[in-house]
């Protein structure tokens, strides 16, 4: 019994079974390296003719397409021939190089799509793309696009920069477009000469997209008599270099986020003289925000700055302590009109709004909210209009917020100044909301053309 319980185990073992497999072929994922297919155009100008291409076939969606201005060393024939697309085309990339100088024509309804964008550097030679109708489109599905010198001629088509695509405009001698630019990814304008938008064409920055304007001493974007606009739903930014002025000869309409920074003494001017007849503003905002910071000067021509909503923010908490931001009406009829939304002075220092000429109107349901550090023993000129007038009225509201919980310094003043002396402030503030310790304005102060809030 004990042996049976504790004796050595005698397990039965079985021989391992042997399995046999029949060899077979297994289908694997298809992998391919993009092929370069260069436009030859020896037969005719038709993209869809296979013998017009160096690979002897029409480019496939995964191919890299090249347009070249050189000569075939084997045949002595030129690659520099025009091409016409009669149906939508999708390829991996498109490069125009070596001074290719012929026209790429898109027939009605055609899209030319590239997954890695469009390289239109071309050694400085202008790239001509002709749109046959408003249904034509040049579409960067992704990748990095470079536009140097270009002419998007013909009808008012579309240049689309999709969500995962980036565009860099680096024009050195000439660029013009009859096509609208739709930015759904990102775009940077660092061009050395103006890019001219004609026939009402403009730029639309879509929500979640971004556009940056580089600092330079020239007109960066230009729209002649029939002014197209820059309409921003996403993010638009400009940071000046010290002592430089960048001109944008197109009105700006903002619904998103705009940041304009001066970098000590920089300036950006919105200079289109036709904006009064077309858009009614040089810079307009009905939503979102515009932030002026770091001594930026903003020039506005025609009907000037026009706000019906959103927030005009002067300075940031991260900005320098002394920030003088100026909106400059360019011309005798220039003006700054605030009919809605909010003006806020966000800096804890001495950030100011300086309207150098023309008139400032704060009316409608607009609200002016000044955030002050009441412990600074100094004068703080928040709004200055040296050569015009300020009109205040409607249900507008003046609000002063002290961000320092220690109260108001005995030597602190907050000023609205209009000069020369005797220029009256017209109308009245609908509501005045002042912190404890700040005195109300008097009728005499208003009559003298200055409004000083002091402790």
* Domain residue ranges of the chain, discontinuous segments joined by +: 85-454
pLDDT score at 420: 46
pTM of the complete model:
0.83
CA distance 222 to 142: 27
pLDDT score at 265: 80
> Residue for token digits 């730029």?
203
403: left (phi over 0), alpha (psi -120 to 50) or beta: alpha
- DSSP code string of 66-98: EEE-SB-TTT--BS---EEE-S-EEESEEEEET
pLDDT score at 136: 98
pLDDT score at 442: 61
- Per residue of the chain (455 residues), what is the pLDDT tens digit? 444 444 444 444 444 455 555 666 666 555 456 799 999 999 999 999 999 999 999 999 999 999 999 998 888 899 999 999 999 999 999 999 999 999 999 999 999 999 999 999 999 999 999 999 999 999 999 999 999 999 999 999 999 999 999 999 999 998 999 999 999 999 999 998 999 999 889 999 999 999 999 988 888 998 876 778 999 999 999 999 888 899 998 999 999 999 999 887 889 999 876 766 667 788 999 999 999 888 888 888 877 888 999 988 887 655 554 466 778 777 655 678 888 888 776 554 455 677 766 677 777 777 776 666 555 544 455 676 766 666 766 666 666 666 666 666 655 555 565 544 444 454 444 455 555 555 655 655 555 444 555 44
CA distance 346 to 335: 23
pLDDT score at 158: 98
Name 37's Cβ contacts closer than 8 Å, sequence gap at least 6.
53, 54, 55, 57, 59, 60, 63, 64, 65, 66
Peptide bond into 420 cis (omega under 30): yes
CA distance 21 to 19: 7
CB 449 within 8 A of CB 423: yes
DSSP 217: S
pLDDT score at 81: 97
CA distance 343 to 405: 23
């Amino acid at each position: 019994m004990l042996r049976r319980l504790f004796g050595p185990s005698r397990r039965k073992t079985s021989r391992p079974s042997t399995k046999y497999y029949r060899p077979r072929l297994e289908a694997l994922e298809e992998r391919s390296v993009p092929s370069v297919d260069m436009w030859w155009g020896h037969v005719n100008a038709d993209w869809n003719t296979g013998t017009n291409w160096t690979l002897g076939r029409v480019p496939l969606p995964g191919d890299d397409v090249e347009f070249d201005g050189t000569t075939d060393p084997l045949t002595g024939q030129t690659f520099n021939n025009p091409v016409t697309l009669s149906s939508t085309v999708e390829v991996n990339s498109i490069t125009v190089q070596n001074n290719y100088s012929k026209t790429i024509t898109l027939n009605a309804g055609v899209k030319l799509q590239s997954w890695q964008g469009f390289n239109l550097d071309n050694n400085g030679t202008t790239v001509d793309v002709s749109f046959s109708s408003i249904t034509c489109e040049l579409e960067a599905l992704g990748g990095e696009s470079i536009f140097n010198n270009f002419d998007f001629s013909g009808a008012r088509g579309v240049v689309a920069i999709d969500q995962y695509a980036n565009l860099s405009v680096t024009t050195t001698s000439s660029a013009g477009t009859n096509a609208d630019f739709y930015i759904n990814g990102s775009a940077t304008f660092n061009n050395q000469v103006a890019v001219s938008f004609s026939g009402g064409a403009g730029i639309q920055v879509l929500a979640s997209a971004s556009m940056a304007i580089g600092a330079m001493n020239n007109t960066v974007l230009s729209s002649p008599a029939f002014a197209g606009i820059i309409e921003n739903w996403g993010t638009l930014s400009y940071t000046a270099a010290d002592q430089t002025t960048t001109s944008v000869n197109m009105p700006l309409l903002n619904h998103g986020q705009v940041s304009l920074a001066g970098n000590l003494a920089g300036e950006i001017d919105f200079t289109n003289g036709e904006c009064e007849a077309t858009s009614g503003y040089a810079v307009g905002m009905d939503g979102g925000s515009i932030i002026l910071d770091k001594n930026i000067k903003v020039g506005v021509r025609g009907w000037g700055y026009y706000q019906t909503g959103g927030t005009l923010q002067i300075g940031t908490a991260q900005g320098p302590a002394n920030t003088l931001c100026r909106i400059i009406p360019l011309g005798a009829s220039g003006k700054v009109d605030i009919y809605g939304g909010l003006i806020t002075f966000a800096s804890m220092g001495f950030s100011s709004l300086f309207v150098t000429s023309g008139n400032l109107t704060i009316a409608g349901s607009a609200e002016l909210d000044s955030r002050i550090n009441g412990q600074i023993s100094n004068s703080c000129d928040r709004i200055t209009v040296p050569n015009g007038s300020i009109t205040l009225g409607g249900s507008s509201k003046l609000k002063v917020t002290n961000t320092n919980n220690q109260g108001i310094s005995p030597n602190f003043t907050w000023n609205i100044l209009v000069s020369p002396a005797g220029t009256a402030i017209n109308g009245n503030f609908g509501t005045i909301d002042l912190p404890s310790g700040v005195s109300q304005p008097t009728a005499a102060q208003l009559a003298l053309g200055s409004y000083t809030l002091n402790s």
